[in-house]
Amino acid sequence: MSNMGYSGSNYDRFVENTNTSTLHKMKETYWTTKQAVIKKLGKKEDEHVVASDSQLDAKLEVFKAIQRSSMELLRVIEKYQDRLCGK
For the stretch 15-56, pLDDT in tens is 555 556 777 778 788 888 888 887 888 877 666 666 677 778
d(CA 46, CA 80): 51
pLDDT tier at 80, thresholds 50, 70, 90: very high
d(CA 4, CA 22): 25
pLDDT tier at 63, thresholds 50, 70, 90: very high
Q: Where are the domains of the chain?
A: 1-43, 45-87
Instruction: Please answer whether residues 28 and 20 qualify as being in contact, where contact means their C-beta atoms are separated by less than 8 angstroms.
Output: no
Q: Where are the alpha helices (DSSP H) in the chain?
A: 8-19, 22-41, 47-85
Report the sign of the C-alpha dihedral through residues 34, 55, 5, 79, in that order: positive
Instruction: Please answer whether residues 10 and 78 qualify as being in contact, where contact means their C-beta atoms are separated by less than 8 angstroms.
Output: no
The pLDDT > 70 percentage for the chain reads 67
d(CA 57, CA 62): 9
Selection from 3, 6, 16, 7 nearest residue 77 by Cα: 7
